[in-house]
Structure 1
Amino acid sequence: MRIANVARLGIKEIRSLWRDRMMVALIAWAFTGSVYVAATGIPETLNKAPIAIVDEDQSPLSQRIFNAFYPPFFTAPTRLSRAQIDPGMDQGSYTFVLDIPPHFQRDLLAGRSPAVQLNVDATRMGQAFSGNAYVQQIVDGEINAFARRGGRAAALPIDLAVRSSFNPNLTALWFGAVMQVINHVTLLSIILTGAALIREREHGTVEHLLVMPVTPSEIMAAKVWSMGLVVLAATWASLLLVVEGAMRVPIAGSLALFLLGAVAHLFATTSMGIFLATFARSMPQFGLLVILTIVPLELLSGGSTPRESMPQAVQDIMLAAPTTHFVKLAQGILYRGADLTVVWPQLLAIVTIGAVFFAVALVQFRRAINTMA
């Protein structure tokens, strides 16, 4: 492999990409507006959940519970009758309907244990999961305060001190911004390299390359380094200007070490993009292949949900994916400030997987080139 040929072909790829205004706009949006919108669109807590209350007691305690629900966690409560519960839930008008039974205050003061019914629309998973605990805490707090008549509660024998590491305020923005950048590194690297090969085929320039004194390995290496460089530069700019600059999200670790891990990851994902492009005959076909590939890579890598919560078989299979190790490396560096002594196993795994992907993609690429010839 001649370095001069690889360099010249790579520069050609960058120039060709620059002339593709739609692809340039996609890259710019993915690492700026998309990161900002996705990160700020994640609600910090329960937000404006619709709730209705059936007050069959009409007591000071039930009124106190009614007044305890207010924005921004909940919308202003709506009063309903028992007959309106099912129609309201069926129409999706309310996520929560709290039913306070008759004689609730009297039974509570008499030492009995009256039951309060909470109806939850479980199809609204986000609000239902967190809002269930919110409603219970609010009702329990109002009942305890009413029962004490303003007195102080007895001290508990155990004091639980909660300390949130790496994200003291539990700000969802910190997680969403960084993970969006990590996901776009994978997505754009696969798309750009695959699109570069498809573009050569559609424009008829593959035949020109075949008559030039270059080898398939040089052609593939040029596409890998050029498209990887574009994604790497966009990632660096996004972390500095959008994540740290616009959204004020702190980066705990070394940005240079993260970019080193990104280089290793791009080596694997750009090879994957070329591999997929050899099976596609047009951009629409390539897009369908990318969808089938990128969804499991991102959802099962541990970035959206912890890998420990997945079936063991899925955990084992995803160890062969570079995204699994890259997400762990990126989170360790950017969230927890890990250094090379901590993340070297993930870095080594990414390089190994990338070498395998490059070799497999090169074999398939040579076959595709021979077919075109």
Structure 2
Amino acid sequence: MRQWLANVYRLGVKELRSLRADPVLLVLIAYVFSVAVYAVATGARLEVINASVAYVDLDRSDLSGRIIGAILPPEFDTPEEIPATDIAKVMDSGEFVFVLSFPPRFEADVLAGLQPSLQLNVDATAMVQAGNGAVFLQQIITGEITKFVARSDEASASSIDIVVTAQFNPNLQSTWFASVMQVINNITILSVLLTGAAMIREREHGTIEHLLVMPVTPSEIMVAKIWANGLAIIIGAILSLWLVVQGILGVPIAGSISLFIAGSVLYLVSVTGLGILLATFTTSMAQFGLLALPVLVIMNLLSGSTTPMESIPLWLQYVMQAAPSTHFVAFAQAILYRGAGLEVVWADMALMTVLGAAFFVVALMRFRQTMASA
């Protein structure tokens, strides 16, 4: 056992030196855990920010003025008035996302207890912004009408007082979600790519023959590649959480980083094993990239990091339970977002351990066959 550990250590050091000598992979790791995290978190915003609004006011009343005045930044730009004949033109050109149209006698009909129609045209090209923005505008309109009818700056009394508390992301900022999820997704991507690239590099450089004549076993070679590349990924993920997510983006990390690292190590065993398994079916880096790409896309899209698990078909939810990425995403979200402890995430850690062992055994069997036929 001592000799086995010594061989694993020495082979792992060799992997780290090979990684250090590969500037492309070093730049990739640095980019993925820095620029990529920042760009995705700040570039793809899902909430309503600076949405353009136009209005047609055929009423020219105090009520229509109050509603227009309540549409404020940062959710919306200052509303611009347009003639009624330009509604179709500005919507077709995409100049405005929302166009609000006040009919004549709107205020008089409201005060008379009638139910006048207030038209809101929405450019639903961007569905999320359109849907959320329409809800916000409806709330603004309803609130201002209620205040106006009550002849007060406070809403009329209601028999039900609804208090909404947004936990874990009180300002509902997509940056908080996207930044942490990007780090989690990048752990999966790099785990597959680095270990697979390490295997392909052995073939392309001809060092696989050197390994075959050395007194080392396939398990020693495989474990060495896993711990060496996994160490580089864990260090990059931790620095990304501290420097980029917390430092630059100002996103708080609620839970224990140590517990997150422990679960990430369990996850790395399975996903790096997957990278080695994919590499055994290819003979070049180009082939490996083409094979790994659809696997990574499916893992990221259906693991719950991009869309909630509840939004995919039920049968597919059951299928994805066999993917370690599904349990890692649930584990990471519970710790980093909600501050969960071991008593909450132990089940996900146990499942990652079982799946990791299964992936490791399958990858090891395939790796032994590959080395025997080399």
Identify the TM-score tier after normalising by the shorter chain.
over 0.9
| CA 1:70–1:257: 2 relative to 1, 3 Å | closer
Deviates more, 1:306-315 or 1:38-47: 38-47
Per the alignment, in what secondary structure is the counterpart of residue 56 of structure 2? strand
Alignment of 1:73-152 (within 5 A): 73-150=75-152, 152=154
Name the residue aligned to 1:61: 63
Cα offset for 1:133?
0.6
Letter in 2 for 1:345: A
Residue among 164, 167, 173 paired with 1:165:
167
Residue among 205, 220, 245 paired with 1:243:
245
Q: Deviation string for 1:316-369 (max 9, x for gaps)?
A: 011001111111111222222222222211111001101111111122222333
Letter in 1 for 2:30: A
Residue among 355, 360, 366 paired with 1:358:
360
Q: Deviation string for 1:118-172 (max 9, x for gaps)?
A: 1111121121121011111122223223333336443222222333333344343
Q: Are the equivalent residues in 2 in contact too, given 1:51–1:97 (CA < 8 A)?
A: yes
Q: Are the equivalent residues in 1 in contact too, given 2:48–2:133 (CA < 8 A)?
A: yes
Counterpart CA distance in 1 for 2:341 and 2:114 is: 58
Name the residue aligned to 1:186: 188
Cα offset for 1:203?
1.9
Name the residue aligned to 2:328: 326
| CA 1:263–1:132: 2 relative to 1, 3 Å | same
| CA 1:90–1:367: 2 relative to 1, 3 Å | farther
Please tell me whether residue 32 in structure 1 is matched to residue 34 in structure 2. yes
Deviates more, 1:186-195 or 1:211-220: 211-220
Per the alignment, in what secondary structure is the counterpart of residue 48 of structure 2? coil
TM norm structure 2:
0.92
Alignment of 1:163-312 (within 5 A): 163-312=165-314
| CA 1:169–1:60: 2 relative to 1, 3 Å | closer
Q: Are the equivalent residues in 1 in contact too, given 2:195–2:272 (CA < 8 A)?
A: yes
Q: Are the equivalent residues in 2 in contact too, given 1:183–1:298 (CA < 8 A)?
A: yes
Counterpart CA distance in 2 for 1:159 and 1:140 is: 16
RMSD: 2.1
Counterpart CA distance in 2 for 1:342 and 1:145 is: 45
Q: Are the equivalent residues in 2 in contact too, given 1:95–1:124 (CA < 8 A)?
A: no
Counterpart CA distance in 2 for 1:154 and 1:53 is: 27
Counterpart CA distance in 1 for 2:130 and 2:366 is: 48
Letter in 2 for 1:149: R
Cα offset for 1:20?
0.9
Per the alignment, in what secondary structure is the counterpart of residue 115 of structure 2? coil
**Gap runs ≥5 in structure 2:** none
Counterpart CA distance in 1 for 2:290 and 2:178 is: 26
Q: Deviation string for 1:42-98 (max 9, x for gaps)?
A: 548411112221223233333333333343222232333333222322222221122
TM norm structure 1:
0.92
